[in-house]
Structure 1
Amino acid sequence: MSLLKVQNVSKSFGSLKVTNDLSFELKRGEAIGILGPNGAGKTTLFNLISGDITPDSGEILFNDKSILALSSSDRCVAGFGRTYQIPQPFEGMSVFENVLVGAVYGNNYSEKEAEELALYVLEQTGLIDKAEALAGTLSLLERKRLELAKALSTQPKVLLLDEIAGGLTEQEVFELIELIKDIRKAGVSIIWIEHIVHALLSVVDRLIAINFGELLIEGTPEDVMNSSEVKEVYMGIE
């Protein structure tokens, strides 16, 4: 059964059409990867799903109900968590306080319940030893983990990952992959935008390639990566 449906969604900024009649579905427990060159409309797609921007046309359904009228904060409470390509911690707050914000505002929890959830998520993401450190002092990998922890603290049903592996070393990417696999095992459905293709291939069930805001091809990772469309548009191979 589909958890999320994006149906014929289009979005333009002035004369520039960044998403054009795009449709796909995300099943419960599934992880899908989004491929595409820079400027293909990948992050705009996430902005449309998370409610940061509104489509010009089309529909977005969550549990078969439209979410277009919901604000980004309401979508967070409904079950959407998101990371951003550039980590955006509250640098003057501790790591624990950063995660506590999500635990409080993403759930109808008491203070004690929110604190317990924040500690659990810090343990889950390998940041428990950094709980009292200021977020502004973290390394890049730690910032990426904190970005993920903030998203997980809202207890999402759908997790949107925007190039979370970018800028990391190979070892750090491997550590991140293992963490995301654990998140999948917990039942969270994932949509992952990533340029580090081997990371995607280690996690996702299905790949979707887009270009100029349009669906190029979707299918199994093997079929998509071997397709002439992806080789030509994404890899520059004719």
Structure 2
Amino acid sequence: MLEIKNISKNFGGIKALNNVSLSIEKDEIVGLIGPNGSGKTTLFNIVSGLIKPDSGAVIFSGKRIEGLQPEVISLSGITRTFQEVRVIDSLNVLENTMIASLPHFKMNYHIASDAAIEALEIVGLKDRAQTPVSKLKDGEKRLLELARAIAANPKLVLLDEIMAGLMEKEQSRLANLINMLRNELEITVFWIEHVLRAMFRLVEVDRIVVLNWGNKIAEGAPDEILRNNEVIEAYLGKIRGLGGETIA
């Protein structure tokens, strides 16, 4: 479904990504991890069209998309969430969700509204549809972002640290939703996360790709990644687990 071929990106003298390649098959959940500054979000920004790579190709469903405008890429079937939640506080929950669904249903209000309500029901926010976003808790805003990604009828969703700042119970709820995306909604998932317990234990991840200083240093099943000495060294977590975080 998605092929990233030899992608490189520099910001001034800083090499954010260095000849990175990976592929994602339909109906996979693929994790992307690495220390801060390793290039993870830069890669997502390239795939979703927010920035252009200096070199390399991004191929989605057989077509090259690198350098296309974000709205074109979104309409092709790729949606995403962001590290810092991007919602419009002056609108209510349903209106925020319809902003995502309307373009994908040719601005048909009734169909887009139905899609938005269905997405809100999936994430558990249907009863808050008329609530102003300014009154939502942080965890609910994360769920709203996920609802918007679902309402846009994607084939592939990019999740960028969707569990950041959440309590353990909220993380478990989101983990169940990520599994549902693939298992019930047949949406392929590419997921950046620093909550390693969720990545390695709560979500049914097929493969994990590891970046460090812009380079891909490992790729494999979760158990393989846990045993990879280069990954362990990158996270400085030789005693308690990757990054010093307990993941059991």
Instruction: Settle same-fold status: TM greater than 0.5.
Output: yes
CA contact (8 A) 1:89 1:136 kept: no
Counting only pairs closer than 5 Å after superposition, residues 61-76 of structure 1 correspond to structure 2 as: 61-76=59-74
Deviates more, 1:177-186 or 1:138-147: 177-186
- Equivalent position of 1:79 in the other structure: 77
Q: Is the 8 A contact 1:94 1:132 kept in 2?
A: yes
C-alpha separation in 2, matches of 1:235 and 1:206: 21
Unaligned runs of 5+ in 1: none
Q: Match for residue 227 of structure 1? A: 228
What stretches of structure 2 of length at least 5 have no aligned partner?
A: 240-248
Q: In structure 2, what is the equivalent of residue 175 of structure 1? A: 173
CA distance in 2, matches of 1:236, 1:118: 42
Cα separation, partners in 2 of 1:25 and 1:72, compared to 1, 3 Å:
same
Q: Over residues 18-63 of structure 1, what are the superposed CA-to-partner deviations in whole Å (9 max), with x where a residue is unaligned?
A: 0100000000000010110000011001000000000000000011
Q: 1:207 and 2:224 equivalent?
A: no
Counterpart of 1:188 in structure 2 is 187
Give the AA of the match of 1:184. Answer: R
| Alignment of structure 1 residues 1-238 onto 2, 5 Å | 3-185=1-183, 186-201=185-200, 202-203=202-203, 204-237=205-238
TM-score by length of 2: 0.93
Number of residue-to-residue matches in the alignment: 236
- Quote the offset at 1:235 in angstroms: 3.4
Tell me, what secondary structure is at the counterpart of 2:105? coil
More divergent stretch after superposition (221-230 vs 103-112):
103-112
AA aligned to 1:157 is K
Aligned letter for 1:211?
N
- Give the share of equivalent positions with the same residue, in percent: 38
Secondary structure class of the residue paired with 1:53: coil
